[in-house]
Amino acid sequence: MLNFATNSPKGCGGVGGAPGESVWVKTGATATEPQPVLQSNGQFLMNIDKGNQSVGGKDATVVGTVENSSTDCQQPVYETKMLANAGPFTVRTDAAGRLWFLLGTDSGFEGTTSLYYRQFRAALTELPQ
């Protein structure tokens, strides 16, 4: 479960996509420590599979977008929003039993997004081998 404050109104246009509906929130976990990897084109990508924009990957799933209930594109206001995974997310730890939790956004919007993360909660259950 994720609780955060967002000032991205719904139904607004933006460069590359909407400031609310084109910013996807992802959560997940991986046994690999997330690190930036410099590509030959000078851009950085992550060394884990978070997917791309509206699509999740092996290590992260899309839980929603950042728009709030406001439709005032000129005077955005912060609102608290809560998102949760639709179902369980299964991950295997490394040999020492460690894993990394992932929480972030993957954006098509090419402007500034400001979020205030208030709470992130995960429940772990050991599965039979």
DSSP conformation class of 43? -
Measure the N-to-C terminal CA separation of the chain; round to a whole number of Å.
Answer: 26
pLDDT for res 75 = 95
- The beta strands (E) that lie in the chain are given as 2-6, 23-30, 36-38, 44-46, 60-65, 79-83, 100-107, 115-120
The answer to whether residue 79 scores a pLDDT higher than 90 is yes
| Predicted model pTM | 0.91
The answer to whether residue 129 scores a pLDDT higher than 80 is no
Token digits of residue 75: 């005077």
